[in-house]
C-alpha cells in the first residue's frame, strides 16, 4: 500500500517562539546546536546525520557491578534464526534467595536510522543502579539498510531470548520491563502490542520516553515546534522515510502504535514527554488513550527541555531527574506495587 508523503514543513525566518519556553541549560544547548548545525539535521544526508549524531566515548559516570556484551539468539516462526547484539548491565544489588533480579530491556532512540549502545550507556547504567535491575540494551538493526519491520523483529527476538534464558541470566522472567526513547519508545510500545496480539504475558512496565507512535504529523506540536532544536518536523519526516521507504508500507500498529485498534490489556506505562518537542502531542495522546482504555499510566511532561534531553546525562539536570523518576516506578512494579498516582 502506498502512503502519500506528508506535506512539506516551512521553516520560519522569524525568531522561534519556543525559545522563551526553554530553561537556561536547554537554551545554551540550543544556541550551541544552532552554531554547529545551522541547517536542519536531515539536510546532512544519511552519512552526515550518522557522523553528526555519533556519540563520543561514553563518560561512564555511574558504576555498576559488570557490563558484558552477548548475542541474543532466538529461533522465530518458520525456524528463522535471529541474532541480536546486546549489552548487559548488572547492578550491585544482590539476588534474594533463588529469585532472579528484575530486568529492563532497553531500546535506544535515533529515528530507527542512527543510535547505538554507546549513546545510551550512561542511561542504562543509571537504570541498573537506581532501579536495582539488570539492563539489557539492544543493538537492533537500523534503516534504511534494514527497514521496517527489522527493528521490531530484533526487539521481539531479544525479548524472547530474555524470557527463554532468564534463569541462566539470573533474571526473574516475571519481572521484565521494557523501555526506550524516541524510536526506542516506539519499539517498546510495539513489543507490548505484539505480545498482546500473540496472547503472551505483558512486561511489568513500559517506559516510553517521547515515543514515536504516529505518522500523521497532524497534532499542534508538529507545527508549534517544527523548527525545534536537534529534531524538527522535517527531520522526523525524513527519519520516517528512511524507516518505511518513499512508498511507505501497509498500516501496522507495530509501526504506529497510536493507530492500534485497542490498547486495552497492555502493560502499565510510565510516559515521559519534553515540552519543546514536535513528538510531544502524539506521545501525550498515546498516554491519554492508554489510560482511557484501562491501562495504569503515569505521565510527566518535563518543562523547559527539548527532544533528546533524556539521554544527555550531565548536560541536562532534568535528564537525571527523569531517569530517577522512572527508576522509582520500576522499583515499585518490581516489588509488586502499583504505579504511584
Residues with catalytic roles = 182, 277, 307
Rounded to the nearest angstrom, the gap between the alpha carbon of residue 333 and the centroid of all alpha carbons in its chain is 19
**Cα(198)–Cα(246) distance, rounded to whole angstroms?**
30
Find out whether 64 and 92 touch, Cβ atoms under 8 Å: yes
Half-sphere exposure of 217 (CA within 13 A, CB side): 18
Cell digits of residue 135: 539492563
Nearest in space to 181 (alpha carbons), one of 286, 52, 283: 283
Amino acid at each position: 500500500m502506498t502512503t502519500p508523503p506528508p506535506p512539506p514543513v516551512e521553516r520560519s525566518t522569524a525568531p522561534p517562539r519556543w525559545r522563551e519556553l526553554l530553561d537556561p541549560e536547554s537554551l545554551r544547548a540550543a544556541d550551541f546546536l544552532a552554531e554547529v548545525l545551522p541547517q536542519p539535521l536531515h539536510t546532512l544526508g544519511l552519512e552526515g546525520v550518522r557522523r553528526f549524531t555519533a556519540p563520543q566515548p561514553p563518560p561512564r559516570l555511574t558504576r555498576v557491578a559488570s557490563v558484558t556484551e552477548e548475542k541474543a539468539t532466538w529461533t522465530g516462526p518458520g525456524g528463522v534464526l535471529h541474532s541480536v547484539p546486546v549489552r548487559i548491565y548488572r547492578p550491585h544489588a544482590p539476588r534474594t534467595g533463588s529469585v532472579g533480579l528484575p530486568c529492563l530491556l532497553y531500546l535506544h532512540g535515533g529515528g530507527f536510522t542512527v543510535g547505538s549502545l554507546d549513546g545510551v550507556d550512561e542511561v542504562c547504567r543509571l537504570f541498573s543502579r537506581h532501579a536495582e535491575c539488570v539492563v539489557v540494551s539492544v543493538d537492533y538493526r537500523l534503516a534504511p539498510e534494514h527497514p521496517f519491520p527489522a527493528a521490531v523483529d530484533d526487539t521481539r527476538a531479544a525479548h524472547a531470548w530474555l524470557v527463554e534464558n532468564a534463569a541462566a541470566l539470573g533474571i526473574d522472567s516475571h519481572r521484565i520491563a521494557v523501555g526506550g526513547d524516541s524510536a526506542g519508545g516506539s519499539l517498546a510500545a510495539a513489543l507490548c502490542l505484539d505480545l498482546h496480539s500473540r496472547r503472551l504475558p505483558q512486561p511489568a512496565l513500559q517506559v516510553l520516553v517521547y515515543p514515536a507512535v504516529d505518522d500523521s504529523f497532524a497534532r499542534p506540536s508538529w507545527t508549534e515546534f517544527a523548527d525545534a532544536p536537534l529534531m524538527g518536523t522535517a527531520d522526523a519526516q525524513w527519519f520516517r522515510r528512511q524507516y518505511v521507504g518513499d512508498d511507505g508500507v501497509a498500516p501496522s500498529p507495530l509501526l504506529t502504535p497510536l493507530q492500534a485498534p485497542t490498547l486495552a490489556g497492555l502493560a502499565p506505562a510510565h510516559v515521559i514527554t519534553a515540552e519543546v518537542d514536535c513528538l510531544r502531542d502524539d506521545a501525550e495522546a498515546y498516554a491519554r488513550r492508554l489510560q482511557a482504555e484501562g491501562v495504569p499510566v503515569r505521565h510527566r511532561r518535563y518543562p523547559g527541555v527539548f527532544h533528546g534531553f533524556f539521554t544527555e546525562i550531565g548536560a541536562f539536570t532534568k535528564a537525571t531527574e527523569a531517569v530517577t523518576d522512572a527508576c522509582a516506578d520500576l522499583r515499585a512494579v518490581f516489588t509488586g506495587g502499583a504505579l504511584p498516582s
